[in-house]
Amino acid sequence: MFNYNEAKKLVLGQLTVEQTPSSDVIDKKIRAVKIMASIEYPDIIIDWDMLKRDIEASCSTWIDIGKALDGDPKAHQNWFYDRKDQINWRFWNRYVRYLQEENGWAEITTKGLGDNVDQIIQRLEDPQRPGKWDCRGMVVGQVQSGKTANYIGLICKAIDAGYKLIIVLAGVHNSLRSQTQMRIDEGILGYDTKQSMNYSTANIRIGVGRLKGIEFFSAQSLTNRDENGDFKKHRQISIINGNDPVILVIKKNKSVLENLYYSATNVQKERDPSTNRPIVRNIPLLIIDDEADNASINTKQIEFDDDGQVSDEFEPTIINGLIRKLLDAFEKSAYVGYTATPFANIFILPRGDTDREGEDLFPRSFILNLPAASSYIGPKKVFGIDEDNSVGIEHEEGLPIIRIVDDYTDFIPDNHKKGHRPNSLPESLKRAIKSFIISSAARIARGQDKSHNSMLIHVTRYTDVQTRVRDLVSEELESLKKRIEYGDGRSESNIFNELEELWFTDYKPTTHAVIERFFDQRITSLEWKQIKDNLQKAASKIIIKTVNGTVADVLDYKESPNGLNAIIIGGDKLSRGLTLEGLTVSYYLRTSNMYDTLMQMGRWFGHRPGYVDLCRLYTTDELVDRYKHITKASEELKREFEYMVAMGRRPEDYGLRVRTDPGDILLITAKNKMRYGRDMQLSYEGRLVESVKFNLSNAIIEKNFNAFNEFIKKRGQHSEKWGNYLWENVSASSIIDLLNNIQIEGYSAVTDSRILTHYIQAQQKHNELKQWTVALINKNNADNHYTIGGYPVGLVERRNANETNPNEFYQMAKSHIISRRDEYIDLSDEELKLALSRSIKSDGTMSDTPTPEAIRDVRPSHRGLLLIYPLDHNKLDNTNITKPVIGLAISFPSSKTATRIGYRVNSVGDVEFLENE
């Protein structure tokens, strides 16, 4: 039957030679299809204006090329571009046709996908390369941004190039494994593994297997998409000796991995004479580790012997050890971890190898930053980001789709236990359910009636509490359905009046704002009548599903070809990897103190074609603040990554570059993954360190002021720049003495004065950081002045962001004390010119001012910069303070010989030094 989707396929098919077709070209192709449809299907009704907007949006979605940090070039043999023209890319080309014809991707989008897959596969080894080889890589993409589509493309090209065994490690839950298997079935295998795992003509073809006019390419599976379809011990992995490639999608589970290891190593029953360990020869293995920061990391403290080698008795965590043993058992192997939150992976110790398990999973071969498509709705678009001059981050306003929840404490207390029993829904959740009905009706009005539509309710990890929440939500939903269908009679409350008010006060202005700020031609203004006419249809389709370990609800969207409309209630199973198709409304209260956990919980990130204005995130002020901080930390990490790529750095340089939380509330990742409570290493090379939190104890303020006052008195002759006092060629010993005499607040190791002085001392043996420039910041036109070290100084103003205890702590509002220009106060004209030539903005254009990375890179390694900020104590709420609060910033130059300072952090944040390496 000819319909809207068939018309879209025909138009896109005619545009394949056009990567970015003009509006006139699209018009011409649509007219041709319209004429054909009017002749062959005279009764068909298609919204041709909407089709044009849809096509234009699809053709304007692009994917930039990823950038990579590469490992030792001597360990890798370049091969890809020599063989590229000789390889028959049959699996890949079939996948591209599927994305274009079945998923509506335009050629510009599939080309971007292909270019990024090429960036990855060229960094793997040639499967035809003789001898023993292996590689370890990591691909970093954003949450819900298309990583699965990327690694399916990588698997297709790897099979075409000659990899024989593909293992996809798909999380720790059956639900995610099953969902991933379905994507593999559709994009690679072409048949429904739930019916049969080995392809035959009797199989039900799906996905790529249904494409017309293309030969069916056979690949075998040893797992299926059933909830219990994971690898079983009795299955015959011996088929990997055959001609067809073999694919397995498995959980990160002890028994599954053990079964797989013993089955694989028993195929050839051969041992490596040099190690006496099992070896599988001439079967190139590719392991894709989805959610590579979850379960795959060794979280045990590594034990070393007296020679500094890993102790023979040390055993890593079970999943980590089994993945390593599996890789080590193959003569030719490649491991690629995919994650949106690489914080845990970059803290893996590269020297954690063991004889039993082999090399750890540190991505020594490459780390590739995978850009999201231009249509991606990520953290910056949802939460916005504050300007940060110190790292060159520009302000970006978030989309107006967040609704603050402040009436939930009786419903779900923050520290509730598993026996908690909520009695009623808060008004905010009732409003969110009404919002979901309105959003569903609006999508129907826009012609998206057969699209999946989901609402997320994530408020607790406890399954018993989830069950009670489901009961309450079910009661509310059924009441709303009946009121919409039958009306409210003579009741003073009228459901249509309630929904109309919500439409005009919330939806209309939001759609208007989104249209002004977000480019998506499919988003059009709607009238209330269009919504009202579709309310009953929208509400009647909504069902409720609970997704956790105790119920049988499965999110099988493929079983609902006319669109699944579901309110999905869950906890941990919704926290990582699982995709909620068409997610429009989220009601989210579940907090965490860890960057990676919070970011992974953000199921609302992703692609929202034609309906981002209908999306709503109901959450708390606290969670919004946490997400904003994590967004900035991730953006800074991305910028540092790109700069390291430009400077030719290696993966091991990526570690320990994550912004810590100045409020000491958020953790980068779980303490055991970060090696807290054990040995760590830190380098300040190319970093900016600032004091952003101050104890307002008079004793501490007095101590710090006196130390800085004496320090300035001893500096002697000065110069001035931009109105600030400047001293050059200050000795490292003077800087170390100052740091030893002051107290810097916060429990982050990054700002610990002992580690700072230890690093400066260690660099002396490399003739680095021997000379310092010191700047005493003097504010022009200051309201208040104070004499420091004999110099009259205009006091600097910074807003106190600590609204909870403003008399106890002074907190920088944007987590920075520095002003952007201050960091290049010490650069000569030549150095400043060089820094400008290296300063590239995030959009690829030259910056008008030097970027922080370029400033630290051009500053000679023998020279450090200390900036002193006297903060105006008269502006504080605490009137007992009589002297300026002194803060500092230290800008460390880049270094090729940077020492990593060893330290140990225990559970209460105390730091114990170990050794320099």
What ranges do the domains of the chain cover? 133-369, 397-628, 676-916
Instruction: Please give the full DSSP string across 354-377, using - where no structure is assigned.
Output: BTTTBS-----SEEEE-PPBTTEE
pLDDT at position 493: 75
55: which DSSP letter? H
Q: Which fold has domain 133-369?
A: Rossmann fold (3.40.50)
Average pLDDT over residues 648-653: 76
pLDDT at position 714: 94
Name the more confident of 490 and 245. Answer: 245
Which residue shows structure tokens 């201050």?
822
Please check whether the two domains, 133-369 and 397-628, share a CATH topology: yes
230-235: list long-range contacts, CB under 8 Å, 24+ apart. 230/174, 230/177, 230/256, 231/256, 231/259, 231/260, 232/259, 233/259, 233/262, 233/263, 235/197, 235/263
Strand partners for 246: 165, 220
pLDDT at position 641: 77
Q: Is residue 138 pLDDT above 90, yes or no?
A: yes
pLDDT at position 917: 39
Q: Is residue 667 pLDDT above 60, yes or no?
A: no
Structure tokens at 790: 């004999």
Confidence of residue 19 (pLDDT cuts 50, 70, 90): low
3-state helix, strand, coil in the chain (%, to 5): 35, 20, 45
**Please, which residues have CB within 8 angstroms of residue 891's CB and are 6 or more apart in sequence?**
688, 823, 855, 856, 859, 864, 865, 867
Task: Tell me how far apart the 2 most distant CA atoms of the chain are, in Å.
Answer: 92
Q: Is residue 403 pLDDT above 70, yes or no?
A: yes
pLDDT at position 661: 46
Q: Is residue 654 pLDDT above 70, yes or no?
A: no
Chain centroid to CA 725: how far? 42
237: which DSSP letter? G
pLDDT at position 880: 81
Confidence of residue 774 (pLDDT cuts 50, 70, 90): very high
Name the more confident of 693 and 393. Answer: 693
Average pLDDT over residues 588-610: 74
Could you tell me if 748 and 660 are in contact, meaning their C-beta atoms sit under 8 angstroms apart?
yes
505: which DSSP letter? I
pLDDT in tens, 254-265: 999 999 999 999
Which residue shows structure tokens 């993966």?
651
82: which DSSP letter? H
Determine how β-strand 285-290 pairs with β-strand 165-170: parallel
Q: Is residue 658 pLDDT above 60, yes or no?
A: no
Could you tell me if 270 and 263 are in contact, meaning their C-beta atoms sit under 8 angstroms apart?
no
Taking phi first (over 0 means left), then psi (-120 to 50 degrees means alpha), and beta for anything else, what does residue 150 get? alpha
Q: According to CATH, what is the number of the domain 397-628?
A: 3.40.50
Q: Which helix (H) or strand (E) holds 290?
A: strand 285-290
pLDDT at position 593: 61
Looking at every residue in the chain, the average pLDDT score rounds to 84
pLDDT at position 907: 33
Q: What percent of the chain stands above pLDDT 70?
A: 84
Q: Is 248 strand, coil or helix?
A: strand
Spatial distance between the Cα atoms of 14 and 22, rounded to a whole number of angstroms: 13
Spatial distance between the Cα atoms of 451 and 287, rounded to a whole number of angstroms: 33
pLDDT at position 394: 77
pLDDT at position 622: 86
Average pLDDT over residues 355-381: 85
pLDDT at position 809: 77
Given CA atoms 502, 503, 508, 514 in this order, what sign does their dihedral have? Answer: positive
Residue 490 phi, psi (nearest 5): -95, 10
Average pLDDT over residues 161-181: 91
**Please, which residues have CB within 8 angstroms of residue 226's CB and are 6 or more apart in sequence?**
178, 194
pLDDT at position 412: 93
Spatial distance between the Cα atoms of 633 and 595, rounded to a whole number of angstroms: 9
Chain centroid to CA 100: how far? 26
Could you tell me if 719 and 728 are in contact, meaning their C-beta atoms sit under 8 angstroms apart?
yes
Smallest CA-to-CA distance from 314 within 363, 349, 271, 347 is with 349
Spatial distance between the Cα atoms of 468 and 261, rounded to a whole number of angstroms: 42
Which residue shows structure tokens 């004499």?
787
Could you tell me if 90 and 160 are in contact, meaning their C-beta atoms sit under 8 angstroms apart?
yes
Amino acid at 712: I
Spatial distance between the Cα atoms of 114 and 149, rounded to a whole number of angstroms: 10
pLDDT at position 655: 52
Spatial distance between the Cα atoms of 140 and 152, rounded to a whole number of angstroms: 15
Average pLDDT over residues 617-644: 80
pLDDT at position 201: 65
Q: Is residue 152 pLDDT above 50, yes or no?
A: yes
pLDDT in tens, 192-206: 998 777 666 667 889
Structure tokens at 301: 């403290």
Length of the chain as a residue count: 917
pLDDT in tens, 784-833: 999 999 999 999 998 887 776 777 778 777 668 888 899 999 999 999 99
pLDDT at position 712: 96
pLDDT at position 916: 42
Which strands sit side by side in the sheet containing 724-731, from one edge to the other?
688-690, 885-891, 863-871, 771-776, 724-731, 719-721
Average pLDDT over residues 621-640: 79
Could you tell me if 288 and 167 are in contact, meaning their C-beta atoms sit under 8 angstroms apart?
yes
pLDDT at position 566: 93
Average pLDDT over residues 520-538: 92
Could you tell me if 176 and 578 are in contact, meaning their C-beta atoms sit under 8 angstroms apart?
yes
pLDDT at position 591: 73
For the chain, give me the number of helices (H) and strands (E)?
A: 24, 29
Q: What percent of the chain stands above pLDDT 90?
A: 45
Structure tokens at 216: 């069916």
pLDDT in tens, 861-883: 999 999 999 999 888 876 788 89
Q: Is pTM beyond 0.85 here?
A: no
